[in-house]
Structure 1
């Protein structure tokens, strides 16, 4: 695709060359002497430069465009992978988050329930620790046995308490 300026430039060069060939023998002679010059060292350099410019503007530009599109496509794929991995991670850890939130909520309830249980056992603990109404010296002699357990002491206290009442 030639744009308007390139078309005008090509038309101007063609017109000047046609006018020079039509009117001046010197111009025709100079043009004909340029042909052997193209076959020499400078001519080959000019032709190689022209070929390289054509390659750069045609296949080279296309290759560069394709490389940029490949890079853009790979950027898109990486971004999609990151997004999908993030969504997959969120989906896989959501149940764990829910369980943890429920545990935190139930911890508050558990604390209040434990306080209620502790309050319920206050009376029992006081009874176990209370020494009123009995004398442990009244307990029958056990000889060389090991020290009595808390349960045995409580049973003895209860029996002694019942005796004194």
Structure 2
């Protein structure tokens, strides 16, 4: 279950937030209340990779609580999440991908590709997103985006299998969002 991305510091765990991955892909915002009042943080910036043992993996300060998660309207966007699990029972996914795309005709205009259970935070892949812009989502372009998404992945020895699982999750989430076969 250890990270394959963002694992260069002391944090080798994976973020257990399935919804954090989806909310990041959808461009969500976290509303927080605390002693200093209200504030808002993009979900993408709410999760942080700890750089020391005493650092938190989120942007909450002492005595702060999350009061709301706000998701923008999809406005024609298509979204999907694909989970890879060892069993169908109540178990954490081994890897997942959440994607949101907007199309201009049949070509990708915008893309958000976020992977979960592969890093200490929901991991957004700019490489995968860039590989999709201006292209039609096909088996080949979805596979290329999956390859791009894990291009910086680093196995910790016994978790190399997660690289392939993440690659496939990205591909299948994109195909599902585009309405294609799995």
How does the TM-score come out when normalised to structure 1? 0.14
- Greater helix share, 1 or 2? 1
**Radius of gyration: which is bigger?**
1
How does the TM-score come out when normalised to structure 2? 0.13
